[in-house]
Amino acid sequence: MHDDLKGKTALVTGSGKKTGIGYAIAKKLAECGMNVVIADLGEVSGKGEQIRIATSSEMEEIARSFEREAGVGAIACACDVTDTESIARMMERIKEKFGRLDVLCNNAGASFGVPNSVISYDGAAWMKTIDVNLHSVFHVSRAAFPLMLGAPASIINTASRAGKVPPIFNGAYAVAKAGVIMLTKVMAKELAGAGIRVNAVCPAQINTDLEKWRFGLEAQVFNSTVEEREKEMCKTIPLGRLGEPVEVADLFAFLASRESAYITGQAINICGGQLMEL
């Protein structure tokens, strides 16, 4: 399946932890025969993260396992997706190693300063959340653009259900993800002529560190347990369970491949039916 991806190159941001959606995407694309760039914070880790971030040794280990097991090229790039110099250095490495980029998955994301209402939100945490989730897509896509010209290419952005349905006490993240959806649509129109399709994926409740952290916060607020919060959440999902990162990865592979050649500018839900739109 997705035979057209073989021998091409993908960059996946936020892919340095084996528990995350980014790793599942990178693994799936490697299994499709793509060379893969594992990009995550590693040693350029910022401060104040509320969820564990990927380490450089983990990222290296992942890249080596893809080379070994999928027989593809793989590099690990320590990169902060909010830092344009760090991004430029990564693009140089990609150019040197692979020459071009066919698929860009803007997947890195995080929330800072939550839970908090808009009124009491810390200003710096608000800006950082918008930087990591939204401005990163702007910066990385612009830097990748010259490497994506000359052959059909695909950009896939990880947005969120939170970009469509307002959550409470997580406002900066929701605003940023709504921005990712609009940025996706603007870029889809502007880049179509250059042969670059741009789509967003909107996951809801996917079983990762981020989701466990969120249940932990809810457990504090509702004086409950993580298990009880998860059980309550599953009652709101028609398919009755959390999604798995590999299920999101399958959608990314479809949107990367020529099987989705006529799809651009869309924000596709992957949520077990939790959100249904006309």
As annotated, the active-site residues are 173
Residue nearest to ligand NAD (CB): 109
In whole angstroms, give the CA distance from residue 268 to residue 203: 8
Using rule CB under 6 A, residue 19 touches ligand NAD = yes
CB of 208 to ligand NAD, least distance (A): 3
Using rule CB under 6 A, residue 227 touches ligand NAD = no
Q: Which is nearer to ligand NAD, 152 or 237 (CB)?
A: 237
Q: Which of 11, 26, 41, 148 binds ligand NAD (CB under 6 A)?
A: 41
Query: Which amino acid type is present at position 76?
Result: A
Q: What is the DSSP string of 170-220?
A: BHHHHHHHHHHHHHHHHHHHHHGGGTEEEEEEEE-SBSSHHHHHHHHHHHH
In whole angstroms, give the CA distance from residue 163 to residue 186: 16
Using rule CB under 6 A, residue 272 touches ligand NAD = no
Q: How many CB atoms within 10 Å of residue 236? A: 12
Q: Which of 94, 147, 206, 251 binds ligand NAD (CB under 6 A)?
A: 206
Please name every residue paired with 11 in a beta bridge, in sequence order, or none if there are none: 37, 104
Q: Which of 75, 183, 210, 249 binds ligand NAD (CB under 6 A)?
A: 210
Q: Which is nearer to ligand NAD, 263 or 275 (CB)?
A: 275
Residues 46-65, mask of contacts with ligand NAD (x by CB under 6 A): -----x-xx-----------
In whole angstroms, give the CA distance from residue 67 to residue 64: 5
